Structure 1
Amino acid sequence: MLNAIDKTGTLRQAAYVLGITQSALSHRLAEAERRLGGLLFEREGRRLRQTAAGRAMTQTANQIVPVLQRAEFDFQQMVISETTVVRFGVAAYSCYHWLPAFLQTMAKQEPDIQLELVASATQNPLQNLQEGAVDVVLAPGHLAIPGIDSIPVFKDELVLITPCQHSLASKPFIEASDLEGEHYLTYSKTAQPGFEYERFIRPSGVIPHLLTVVEVTDAMIELIAAGFGVGILSRWAVQSAIQHGSITAISVSEAKLDLDWSALVREAEPATAAARVVSRRLAEWFQSTQADENGGQ
């Protein structure tokens, strides 16, 4: 009821959405306020204005309704197919070159788990995880958040991406001073803990010649390949482009910038929960894949 009133703004429209009469909805609202012991809305003609307490209650309702809808959908899927749906997403870089192979492995190892990609999890991944919009998030960097468990998955490296013919492409590694005259493309204008700005650029005091934010990984790769600038990204995220020879990757500093990826799940998930099973399978699969790549080199 609160969700419908919030979305439509009037009792008449909310009643239509709920499939009841306006009179029935008025009685339902009055009964809710009687039980709560206060007003949820103040009447302004035909429209309703939320009280402060009503606004807090409505915000909670708007969080609960989608979770219940997903729970009902998952229940129906499990009844029909006897499978558990696990929604997962990637917190950064929007890279899915690995996904088909992992899904094939999961289908063999865990046939009772159905994976559903939530591409929107890239935006506000922790909020999506906490609110139940996604069950597992593959995330780079070190994240310590109350209520969220972090399961190590694989080790990666932040590298400078340049066009193949760029003057920096032949260097074994770069120093921060190499960026001074460059048009620098960055994935995000927000400085994330554990990434290149905090660990490499800011300590040096170097300011790139020109900075442009490109929030889509594929677009950033294409722009760099075409000579529009350079940028620092996860080696794993751009591995396909490196293998295809469209860009070159150079280590950042002689010591390199390591980047750990983890699977994030809600702390409340029990050890046997499907979300934790998927997280463990992700770690096993990536470790196996990296072992195969290292063995083949």
Structure 2
Amino acid sequence: MRLDIRHWEMLKAINETGTLRQAAYVLGITQSALSHRLAEAERRLGGLLFEREGRKLRQTSAGRAMIQTANQIIPTLQRAEFDFQQMADNDITVVRFGVAAYSCYHWLPSFLKEMSAKEPGIQLELVASATQNPLQNLQEGSVDAVLAPGHLAIPGIDSIPVFQDELVLVTHPEHTLATKPFIEATDLESEEYLTYSKSAQPGFEYERFIRPSGTAPHLVTVVEVTDAIIELIAAGFGVSILSRWAVQSAIKNRRVSAIRVSKESLDLGWSALMRESEPSQSASRVLSRRLAEWF
């Protein structure tokens, strides 16, 4: 390996700050020392990592892949050190955990109490970024277990079924569709439709309900945070098809209404995901089994 860990730390710092002066401050060294460190790294690699644009440094096309790798490995090493210290000091195992697709945590306090009582040696650390990129986070090691909706068959990822749910149309309580026992896809033709994903997700409403009908909503708007979608719907802006379980607090408080999607309804299974390489008694698998028991 041609670069040392200090070179990888340097790449991450320069990329985040944009200048040698600011990166040197973050790393706790002088600008001159950092300049020599950068020159040393480029000499070892045999090419430029950055190009100067005034006081700014712009990554080269060849350096971009190195910088992306630095952005992945430095946080992973930092987390490994932190986890080791936690386990060494407290005899506990830290499991980084997230919820895919939905930012819903109404159930979490009760589950944490259950985990604390039954698995005192496991400490959960919530990773919010798992909401948007759960599989990537699992594969890169930034999260250890994810509670995810839908069926995700991905090489290298194991899943444990947790509970059954359904997709429902979520509207303002006074919306004209709120009084229907169920909706058809054609009911969405004149609606402003809110969705949390920029692409159609396999096994969800677009693939199973909207596309087969040959119709489409009048306007589709992407709002990446599901909590924000609920707030917009409660204020009378648009409708969406979401997990009933994920939005049950808003339904219970009558801030929104939930209508069955199609006469047969659209079922939605939730699973606990973890890396296939996890040992059978690893903390991640124990957590996943506890989730299935609890739900």
User: What TM-score do you get using the length of structure 1 for normalisation?
Assistant: 0.83
User: Contact 1:40–1:55 at 8 Å: present in 2 too?
Assistant: no
1-side partners of 2:51 and 2:252: how far apart? Answer: 64
Partner of 2:104: 95
Partner of 1:281: 290
Moved more, 206-215 or 121-130: 206-215
Q: Deviations over 1:72-104 (max 9, x none)?
A: 001111122111111111111201100011001
Question: Offset of 1:277 from its aligned partner?
Answer: 0.8
Paired residues for 1:165-244 under 5 Å: 165-244=174-253
Q: Deviations over 1:197-256 (max 9, x none)?
A: 111111111122333333322232232233323221100011112222222211111121
Question: Offset of 1:188 from its aligned partner?
Answer: 2.5
Say yes or no: does 1:105 pair with 2:114.
Answer: yes
Return closer, same or farther for 1:174/1:4 CA change in 2, 3 Å cut-off: same
Partner of 2:10: 4
1:188 partner SS? coil
Question: What amino acid sits opposite 1:157 in the alignment?
Answer: E
Say yes or no: does 1:128 pair with 2:128.
Answer: no
Question: Could you tell me the percent identity over the aligned residues?
Answer: 76
Q: Gapped runs of 5+ residues in structure 2? A: 1-6
User: Contact 2:8–2:74 at 8 Å: present in 1 too?
Assistant: no
Q: Gapped runs of 5+ residues in structure 1? A: 287-297
Return closer, same or farther for 1:5/1:171 CA change in 2, 3 Å cut-off: closer
1-side partners of 2:294 and 2:86: how far apart? Answer: 26
User: Contact 2:51–2:60 at 8 Å: present in 1 too?
Assistant: no
1-side partners of 2:238 and 2:19: how far apart? Answer: 52
User: Contact 1:5–1:14 at 8 Å: present in 2 too?
Assistant: no
Return closer, same or farther for 1:59/1:208 CA change in 2, 3 Å cut-off: closer
1:228 partner SS? coil
Question: What amino acid sits opposite 1:128 in the alignment?
Answer: N
**262, 265, 268: which is aligned to 2:271?**
262
Return closer, same or farther for 1:205/1:75 CA change in 2, 3 Å cut-off: same
Return closer, same or farther for 1:250/1:28 CA change in 2, 3 Å cut-off: closer
